[in-house]
Amino acid sequence: MQALFARSDIADLISKVEAGERLSAEDGLRLFRTPDIAALGYAANLVRERLHGDTTTYIVNRYLHYSNVCWDTCKFCSFYRKPGEPGSFTKPVEQIVEWARQFEGQGIQELHIVGGLHPSLKYDYYLQLLRGLKGVLPDTSLKGFTSVEIDWFSRIGRKDARMVMREMHEAGLDSLTGGGAEIFAEHVRKQICPNKIGAERYFEIHGIAHEMGLKTQVTMLYGHVESDADRIDHLLRIRDFQDRTGGFQVFIPLAYHAENNALKARRASGMTDLKVYAVSRLMLDNVPHLKCYWISAGLKLSQVALGYGVDDLDGIVYEHERIFHDAGSGTPQKLGEEDVRKLIRDAGRVPCRRDSRYKLLEEVTA
């Protein structure tokens, strides 16, 4: 351990990290409560560099919102609209497929598909959407739908979740997104998303995907009404599940944004953001990657986060990204590939393009 941190209140925890020992729930709470942000960053960076060295990945991707219509009323959500409400939209499959044609031959690695729980779209719409996109972009990984949406498809299609996942995969779905996790603690979910499926169903659906050989991601929405203990509970549930399935390839902390939604909680501070990244990296010793979603976090914080456990900055282009911009994010709508690479280099890290399974697509050179 560096002498600088020998007198830190978390010096003993740093020693555990250096020895590769698994941290406990009590350890995690201490990490969140320490005022020694430098020591916390040092510990998280030890793990980050043990796993990935200086390499920081990103993906060449595109973002598709097929609809913002949703019957649910999650209090933190600024994206959803009710049917017929001003600003609501639902795109026909033919229009989406035509939109996707512009990306043929461009080497797009991933298409991220986002929507809601649409009260009138039929089950076959989603299969046709996937088939149409895969037909136009056969080499592009289709990442779409949360476990909440898969549960919804199960209801409207009157099929069990396993059958839904099989049919979606056969139609072209390559991976699930991590949305819908929010905070797993039930008392928090009752306050922020009372109608949404609970943690048990969330993990059940991701488990089905993992059994099928699909890799998925998992998220945490923080900075609203949850406590440090709720965050640690969330992380430990992920860690325990990952011990059993090994199917989560990345964890994504997402900061709550307060504009245009009913929750109206206070936005987390930058110090809290860095603590969340660092503690996540230290507690999730079995999840290989930690992502900073720059469209939510902001460009400057994203650079700093690369010293607090983060090894991935997600994608390079977000055409008219809606979820976080509707909630008040002031980040750019898009960044070019060279912009992302410069962002990473300026933070003292080495940029590397990846695919949707986190396979490096170029030789890493400092």
For residue 9, tell me if it sits in a domain.
no
Tokens at residue 147, please? 């476990």
Cα-based distances in Å from 334 to 59, 62, 227, 301: 13, 10, 33, 17
CA dist., res. 31 & res. 39, Å (int) = 10
> 75 has which bridge partners?
none
Specify the higher pLDDT residue, 1 or 154: 154
Helical (H) or strand (E) element with 294: helix 294-297
State the pLDDT confidence band at 44, using cuts at 50, 70 and 90: very high
Q: Which CATH number fits the domain that encloses residue 308? A: 3.20.20.70
* pLDDT value of residue 76: 60
Average pLDDT over residues 6-20: 95
CA dist., res. 247 & res. 265, Å (int) = 33
CA dist., res. 178 & res. 162, Å (int) = 18
For residue 26, tell me if it sits in a domain.
no
* pLDDT value of residue 78: 67
For residue 280, tell me if it sits in a domain.
yes
Cα-based distances in Å from 30 to 7, 24, 44, 173: 15, 10, 14, 40
Average pLDDT over residues 30-54: 98
Average pLDDT over residues 58-85: 78
DSSP 3-state of 89: coil
The reported pTM is 0.92
For residue 110, tell me if it sits in a domain.
yes
For residue 21, tell me if it sits in a domain.
no
State the pLDDT confidence band at 103, using cuts at 50, 70 and 90: very high
Residues of the chain above pLDDT 70, percent: 89
The number of folded domains in the chain is 1
Sign of CA dihedral 68, 73, 76, 78: positive
Q: Tell me, what DSSP letter sits at residue 69?
A: B
State the pLDDT confidence band at 328, using cuts at 50, 70 and 90: very low
Q: Is 179 left (phi over 0), alpha (psi -120 to 50) or beta?
A: beta
Angle between helices 93-100 and 123-136 (to 10 degrees): 20
Cα-based distances in Å from 329 to 221, 299, 336: 15, 11, 19
Cα-based distances in Å from 190 to 60, 176, 225: 37, 24, 11
For residue 81, tell me if it sits in a domain.
yes
CA dist., res. 284 & res. 300, Å (int) = 24
For residue 196, tell me if it sits in a domain.
yes
CA dist., res. 163 & res. 161, Å (int) = 5
For residue 337, tell me if it sits in a domain.
yes
Q: How many residues does the chain have?
A: 366
> The domain containing residue 89 runs over which residues?
31-354
State the chain's mean pLDDT as an integer: 90
Angle, CA of 99, 152 and 195, to the nearest 5°: 120
